Amino acid sequence: MGFSDTRFDVNLSILFTELPLLERPAAAAAAGFTAVELWWPWVDAPAPGQAELDALRDALHSAGTRLVGLNFYAGQLPGPDRGALSIPGAESDRFRANIDVAADFAQSLGCTALNALYGNRVDGVDPAEQDELALENLVLAARAAHRVGAVLLIEALNAPESPRCPIVSAPKAIEVVDKVNDATGLGNAKFLMDLYHLSMNGEDLHEVIDRHTGRTGHVQIADNPGRGFPGSGELDFADLLGRLRKAGYDGWVGLEYKPGDGPSSAAFEWLPVADRAAKH
């Protein structure tokens, strides 16, 4: 089974990182891709200067690449903190300062998917207090996403790599999606189905796809073990992506994997060049 019916994008925060940020869109385009996604690129600046935002926007435009997914501020990524919105104090404040900045930047590029990473449990803080804060911040994020015509994505991470994250299963992520939609009445919170994280959690990927595709706003992939390119591990992506299509998913599939020892440009041999550029 081929991949001609799947819309792929490249995550420029994990691939092409051997290059400066502003050179990555052109590198992705040179590899044959027309769509990209990003974690929040300025890990120490939830509200960077306009010149930095303009420079990245210009780089994306110049390369002819479309931004299809963007994270809200989430602290240091990759790293053990992996999220900010449920952490009281400075991190939550940074997340709130980023909400409208990220939403407006996404809107300026036609990006319609904004991912909000939950955040770890914190010593000395009642988990219920963190969950209350998280819901408040997710409601703010959902409203900002709605303002710019975007969906708000809720992602499940994996327990082995993020043991202090409370969202480490598909059902838990769906539970949070429902809480946000109930609180806002907007219905724009969706599940981010990351098949690598779910596989690391030991979930039945066929069951996840069959049960939750209708609630899914974005998909990300990496092979397991190793978080490498498809074919480097044990997951059957022809089967999984075919099952997603059969279940009705026609959205973007983000390539969010590590390139391995070589340059990122060499990490796409599994995907024919003809299947890299978005056709619809």
Distance separating alpha carbons of residues 152 and 192, to the nearest angstrom: 9
Is residue 259 within 8 Å of residue 226, measured between CB atoms?
no
Sequence-ordered list of residues with C-beta below 8 angstroms from that of 274, at least 6 positions apart, any chain: 4
The amino acid at 38: L
**DSSP character string of 125-165:** S-HHHHHHHHHHHHHHHHHHHHHTT-EEEEE---TTT-TT-
Task: Name the nearest CA neighbour of 44 among 73, 83, 65.
Answer: 73
User: Is the previous residue joined to 78 through a cis bond, with omega within 30 degrees of 0?
Assistant: yes
Distance separating alpha carbons of residues 235 and 250, to the nearest angstrom: 20
User: Is the previous residue joined to 259 through a cis bond, with omega within 30 degrees of 0?
Assistant: no
Active site residues: 155, 256
**DSSP character string of 2-44:** --TT-EEEEETTTSSTTS-GGGHHHHHHHTT--EEEES-S-TT
Distance separating alpha carbons of residues 251 and 218, to the nearest angstrom: 6
